[in-house]
Amino acid sequence: MSGSEEPRRAEDGLPALLHEDLHTADDGGARGSGGERLSHGEATSRPLQPPAPEPQPRGAKLYHRKPVDHNEAAQRFIDAPRHAKMHDERLWDLRQKRDGQMHGLPEWEDLRELASTIKQHTLSNLGDYLEQFESQAKANGIHVHWARDGAEHNRIVHGILADHGARRLIKSKSMLTEEVGFRDYMASVGIEVVETDLGERIQQLDEEAPSHIVVPAVHKLRSDVADVFARELGTDPANDDVHYLAEQQREKTRPLILEADAGMTGANFAVAETGTFVVCTNEGNADLSANVPPLHIASIGIEKLIPRITDLGVFIRLLSRSALGSPITQYTSHFRGPRDGGEMHIVLVDNGRSARLGEPEFWQSLKCIRCGACMNTCPVYRRSGGLSYGATYSGPIGLILDPSFDRRRYSSLPFASTLNGSCTNVCPVKINIHEQIFAWRKVLAESHDIGWSKQAMMKAAGTVLSHPTLYRASIATAEGALKLLPDFMVANPLNSWTARGRAMPDAPKETFHQWYERTNGGKEEPS
Amino acid sequence: MSARDAILAAVRANRPQGDHPLPELPIFPFAAEGGLVEPFLRNLEAMGGHGVEGGDIEGILRAQFPQANVIASAVPEYRGNRDLAQVSAPNDLADVDVAIVRAEFGVAETGSVLLPDTALTVNAVAYLAQHLVVLLAPDAIVPTLQEAYRRPEFHRHRYASFHTGPSATADIEGVLIHGAQGVRSLSVVMCPLKTGS
Amino acid sequence: MRVALFVPCYVDAFEPEVGIATLNLLRRFGIDPEYPFDQTCCGQPMVNSGCHAEAKATEALFVRNFAGFDYIVVPSGSCAHQVRCHMTAIEQTDEVRHVRERTYELVEFLHDVLKVDGFPWAEFPHKVSYHNNCNALRGLFHGSMSERREPATSKPLDLLRMVKGLELVEKARPDECCGFGGTFSVFEPAVSVKMGQDKVRDHAMAGADYVVSADSSCMLHQQGCAERLGLPLQFRHIAQILNGDAA
């Protein structure tokens, strides 16, 4: 047996670009002591030429109680071709870096299976592991709080901060705090929140949500960042050099870190055996947030539990390799108790997770370790940008998480997928993502949340397709075929096939069925 | 019902069907014919770190950081000019140019070093300093992360962090920058642990 | 061996020559497939939209049409995938299970059941870019997937490599989805078209003259995108190539 098709390589031996005009010799990124270009972390494996500036496309428009119009926002993203091109190529590059790491580890598929099994086991015994984690953490001197939902989480954190008279909180990136609207809440009670991850800080200053779980500003070009920093930090608007922008952010954020009253982190893992929680970053910003101010609060979703310290060996090997194609994050920090003179609090948050656990088709989504590999590989996500989903979680994992937070608002999202299955294949904890997207469609159709016209169209198609005579009559003529088939396959009343960029297939001269009848399957009159 | 009891009751009521035993964790082989130092250094360099095979600390510091004014040392091999034991608050360390600490062990697979709270004296020094120099005994390198997590340090320390290269970001256009928020460089010096020190 | 030919609705209507090539190709291997006259569709358009209840009658009709056969062969990865993996709206009787298990996509049937070792009648002296239909690749396992650490295999490429003169070219993203996705192409036209355009540009940059696939639906979509971009790509179903149909 001969092999499958290998990706084409460019002259320099690196994988070929789809957007060749992004090709360049050097991007000025960091180099090693031997002068070689480095590509750890979220750096691209090859330098990319920055496209010329253009206005940044914004995310989905949200209306009260109306389903998100992903297609509309995606179209605006695609209509900003420089952003779209860079976005697609950067994320595809992360996917390829991930593949490189996978090929470097013979035990890759074994590790995925182990990670999945450990998570399944933990989720099946979550009550016991949560109690064990709590008792270990308390024994280590950590204060443990429990929050049923986002509002309770925010109240608890506010209470801790108020007890300490804290006015400024520095924090590292946490999808959980995005999920519960933490920054808005803190603003409403007059507490200043400073994000310390560069990408997240850019998004905070621009009043946008992160567009990606691990690369929050991946949808922006350097020119967009220069605009935001000039406006919010007073940097030189004409200077969009990446080193300059990053250094400016470092210099402007550092005094805020030094004078903060409290620090906040999320957690990638919480270990029941020892009461330890683990935070992974590339910037070291979680460690600054946790180790500089006297008070450290960690918000942890209850699904982050794993049983044993040794289980980390499996998950840490997979996490950054899957996310960024880098063997590990620059910092993997284990917090097991407050430092001398410091105080440490943990808030364990449910916010819909325990209910999800009871759904046979969907509970395995709780295995998610938030690596973003499914987003990087998703051809729809790469073309539409994370903000087009109008939700905390975007991309494939978002399609299956978001509807459980607000079924009506996110009812359209499970349809923002071709069900190609690549997401399932890259998932380090083997969540059957595309099957869950498929299952969500059924759930939404059964509760009549897919839109009246779509459901009516499918009902009509089901009638025609289950009656051979009706079906034959419909497609017996060219006009008939073009009238019926578009109804269930190729077009909608707006004729979206021809609306933009795609020509309609030619009308048939004769259907296969007619040919077969006329020629007795080709036996009487060879055609 | 308290939030705690409500959440615990809910996760127990909603326990997924099926038998899901906790798997045993195998150790997968790590190919390193020539010992672990070489792959450790190679992987460290790929992560943006700087590996130094040995030599005197004084000379290395002078060569690498000739401009350094404030040097905080947590190791007996070098006497700095900022006493970490006397630091009253972490932000006192904001002016440190170079910090020198000793790692408990290294990981060949990734080029990581483990820095626990006891090795740092003040945790924040490893992030507030401009540059970090880490001493690592060549015989204290384990092959993979899975073997690393079998070590006792994770049961002992209130804080312990794997450092793999310096603070880094490529959040803007995928361009790699060292020194995002934390240290601008990380050097690991192969340096045996002096007995009795 | 009683073999039935299932001709998907869009092949029936838009690509009758693919059905004819499939029929003739099977005859070359000594099989004379029957063509049940009451066949319509596998139910995928409804199921793909979540409307399983609306697909029930269509699925029942499919089973009635094909229950009496040892094999049901269809020149479409997505239809074979629908039948085998998603035909669950109807009650799962023995008859239903039999039909689902015995439905084969054409490449699988040639490769795994007939175990063919050559197409001496076929010659195609052209540069070909093979398009992997996602249902065929990741649902029916036509070959190894780039996301997984597994030995490199490909059933369709195994077959195409037996065709004289045919030269396979390499894309930047060999198994990336083309954006058809069934009703996705209707309800998400923006991304669908963009993915299709990227896909056909990838074929063109690879130097392909022809795009070949085991699924006409992906190619109808891609053909539309290529025409709009003015790319001189030709599209052929793998059945046409293997049957030796002239370019």
Residues A50 and A29 sit within 8 Å (Cβ to Cβ): no
Let me know if residue C108 belongs to a domain: yes
pLDDT band per the 50, 70, 90 thresholds, residue A49: very high
Structurally, chain B folds into a number of domains equal to 1
> Is C131 found in the same domain as C94?
no
A333 touches chain B (CB under 8 A): yes
| C-alpha span between A297 and A176 (Å, rounded) | 13
Give me the CATH number covering residue B155. Answer: 3.40.50.10420
**pLDDT (average), residues A504-509:** 70
Q: Is B86 on the interface with A (CB under 8 A)?
A: no
Phi, psi for residue A173 in degrees, rounded to 5: -65, 140
Length of chain C: 247
pLDDT band, very low/low/confident/very high, at A368 (cuts 50, 70, 90): very high
Could you tell me the two tokens for A212?
Answer: 């990606």
Distance between C41 CA and the closest CA of chain A, angstroms = 6
Answer yes or no: do A515 and C20 touch at CB < 8 A.
yes
Q: Does A246 touch chain B (CB under 8 A)?
A: yes
Per-residue model confidence as pLDDT tens digits over A186-240: 999 999 999 999 999 999 999 999 999 999 999 999 999 999 999 999 999 999 9
Average pLDDT value over all residues in chain B: 95
Q: What span, in angstroms and rounded, lies between the C-alpha atoms of A267 and A312? A: 13
Closest CA to C39 of B46, A251, A472: A472
Whether C210 and C134 map to the same domain: the answer is: yes
Question: Would the ipTM clear 0.90, i.e. be above it?
Answer: yes
A495 — pLDDT class (breaks 50, 70, 90):
very low
Cα–Cα distance list, A452 to A175, A390, C51 (Å): 33, 22, 12
Kindly state the tokens that stand for A522. Answer: 């080709």
| Type of residue numbered B140 | A
Query: A423 and A209 in contact (C-beta within 8 Å)?
Result: no
Does any CB of chain C come closer than 8 Å to the CB of residue A427? no
Handedness of CA A273, B150, B161, B23 (dihedral sign): negative
**How many A-B residue pairs are in contact by the CB < 8 A criterion?**
302
Ranges of each domain in chain A = 20-104+371-390+411-446, 452-519
Pair (C86, C137) in one structural domain: no
**CB-based contact, A157 to chain B, within 8 Å:** no
Give the number of other CB atoms < 10 A from CB of residue C2.
12
Alpha-carbon distance C51 to nearest alpha carbon in chain A (angstroms): 6
Average pLDDT over residues C124-131: 98
Position A494 scores a pLDDT of 39
**First-to-last CA distance in chain A?**
35
What is the separation of C-alpha A409 from the centre of its chain, rounded to a whole number of angstroms? Answer: 18
pLDDT at A168: 97
Structure tokens at A395: 């991309």
Q: What percent of chain C has pLDDT over 70?
A: 100
Q: Which two tokens stand for residue B171?
A: 């959040």
Distance between CA A3 and CA C93 in Å, rounded?
Answer: 38
The count of domains in chain C is: 2
Whether A41 and B168 lie within 8 Å, measured CB to CB: yes
Chain A residues 113-142 with CB within 8 Å of chain B: 114, 117-118, 120-121, 123-127, 130-131, 134, 140
Burial environment of residue A357 by CB neighbours within 10 A (0 to 12, 13 to 18, 19 or more): buried
Q: What per-residue string of b and e applies to C204-221 under the rule 16 or more CB within 10 Å gives b?
A: bbbebbbbbbbbbbbbbb
Q: Which pLDDT score, from 0 to 100, does residue A477 have? A: 64
Residue range A16-27: mean pLDDT, rounded: 94
In which element (H, E) is residue C56 found? helix C52-66
Element housing A332 (H / E) = strand A331-335
**Across A294-308, B104-118, B156-170, C175-189, least confident range:** C175-189
| Residue C162: inside a domain | yes
Whether the per-residue pLDDT at B54 is higher than 90: the answer is: no
- For range A442-451, the mean pLDDT: 94
DSSP letter for each residue of A163-211: HTT--EEEE---HHHHHTTHHHHHHHTT-EEEE-SHHHHHHHHTT---S
| C80 and C135 co-located in one domain | no
pLDDT score of A496 more than 60: no
Residue C197 lies inside a defined structural domain of this protein:
yes
Q: Does A487 have pLDDT greater than 50?
A: no
Contact between residue C5 and residue C19 where contact means Cβ atoms under 8 Å apart: yes
Report if residue C121 sits inside a domain: no
pLDDT given at position A497: 55
Determine contact: B42 vs chain A, CB below 8 A.
Answer: no
* C-alpha to C-alpha distance for C89 and A53, rounded to whole angstroms: 51
The C-alpha of C122 sits at a distance from chain A's nearest C-alpha, in angstroms, of 18
Mapping DSSP onto H, E and C, the string for chain B reads CCHHHHHHHHHHHCCCCCCCCCCCCCCCCCCCCCCCHHHHHHHHHHCCCEEECCCCHHHHHHHHCCCCCCEEECCCCCCCCEEHHHCCCHHHHHHCCEEEEECCEEECCCCEEEEEHHHHCCCCHHHHCCEEEEEECCCCEECCHHHHCCCCHHHHCCEEEEECCCCEECCCCCCCEECCCCCCEEEEEECCCCCCC
Interface contact A5-C157, CB threshold 8 A:
yes
List chain A residues with CB under 8 Å of C11.
Answer: 512
Cα–Cα distance measured from residue A260 to residue B10, given in angstroms and rounded to the nearest whole number: 37
A30: tokens are 């960091």
B107: Cα separation from own chain's centroid? 10
- Name the strand (E) or helix (H) holding C104: strand C103-105
Of the given ranges (A502-506, B123-127, B162-166, C177-181), which has the lowest mean pLDDT?
Answer: A502-506
Question: Do the Cβ atoms of B174 and A48 come within 8 Å?
Answer: yes
Residue for token pair 């808005």: A184
| 3-class secondary structure per residue, A209-241 | CCCCCCCCCCCCCHHHHHHHHHHHHCCCCCCCC
pLDDT mean over A462-474: 91
Range of the domain at B160: 35-190
The first and second tokens of residue A152, run together, are: 């309770």
The CA-based diameter of chain B, rounded to the nearest angstrom, is 64
C117 contacts in chain A (CB < 8 Å): none
Task: Say what the alpha-carbon torsion angle B64, B68, B72, B78 is, to the nearest 10 degrees.
Answer: 50
Contact A142/A237 with Cβ under 8 angstroms?
no
Q: What is the mean pLDDT of chain A?
A: 93
Give the residue on A whose Cα is nearest the Cα of C174. Answer: A7
Sequence-ordered list of residues with C-beta below 8 angstroms from that of C243, at least 6 positions apart, any chain: C21, C22, C24, C25, C28, C121, C122
Which of A 183-242 lie inside 8 A of C, CB atoms?
none
Name the residue facing C223 among A446, A501, A505 (closest C-beta).
A505
pTM recorded for the entire structure: 0.96
Across the interface, do A18 and C148 touch by the CB < 8 Å criterion? no
| Interchain CB distance below 8 Å, A282 and B169 | yes
Quote the Cα angle for B44-B46-B50, to 5°. Answer: 50
Distance from the Cα of residue A343 to its chain's centroid:
32
Interface A-C, measured as beta-carbon pairs within 8 A, has a size of 300
Residues 191-230 of A with CB under 8 A from B: 196-199, 202, 215-218, 220-222, 225
The parent domain of residue C108 ranges over 3-113
Indicate if the pLDDT at residue A315 is higher than 70. Answer: yes
Compute the Cα dihedral for A417, C16, C22, C156 and give only its sign: negative
Q: For residue C161, give the nearest of A2, A475, A508 by CB distance.
A: A2
Mutate one of B88, B157, B173, B188 to test the A interface: name it (highest A CB count within 10 A).
B173
User: Is there a domain that residue B28 lies in?
Assistant: no
Tokens 């300490």 -> residue? A164
Q: Which of A291, A349, A367, A431 to mutate to test the interface with B (most CBs of B within 10 A)?
A: A291
Chains with 3 or more CB pairs closer than 8 angstroms to A? B, C
pLDDT one-digit tens code per residue, B177-192: 999 999 999 999 999 9
Beta strands A276-281 and A269-271 are antiparallel
- Tell me if B29 is assigned to some domain: no
Per-residue pLDDT tens for A158-186?
Answer: 999 999 999 999 999 999 999 999 999 99
What are the DSSP calls for A123-169, one per residue? Answer: HHTHHHHHHHHHHHHHHTT-EEEEESSHHHHHHHHHHHHHHTT--EE
* A164 burial level (CB within 10 Å; 0-12, 13-18, 19+): middle
Strand partners of residue A145: A347
C239 contacts C75 by C-beta, under 8 angstroms: yes
pLDDT at residue A500, as a whole number: 59
Which residues from A are below 8 Å from C19, CB to CB? 512, 515-516
Residue A353 CA to residue A146 CA, distance in Å, equals 13
Read off φ and ψ for residue B14, nearest 5 degrees.
-100, 20
Torsion B135-B139-B143-B145 (CA) sign: negative
Q: How many C-beta neighbours within 10 Å does residue A271 have? A: 28
In a domain, C247, yes or no: no
Q: Is the pLDDT of residue C66 over 70?
A: yes
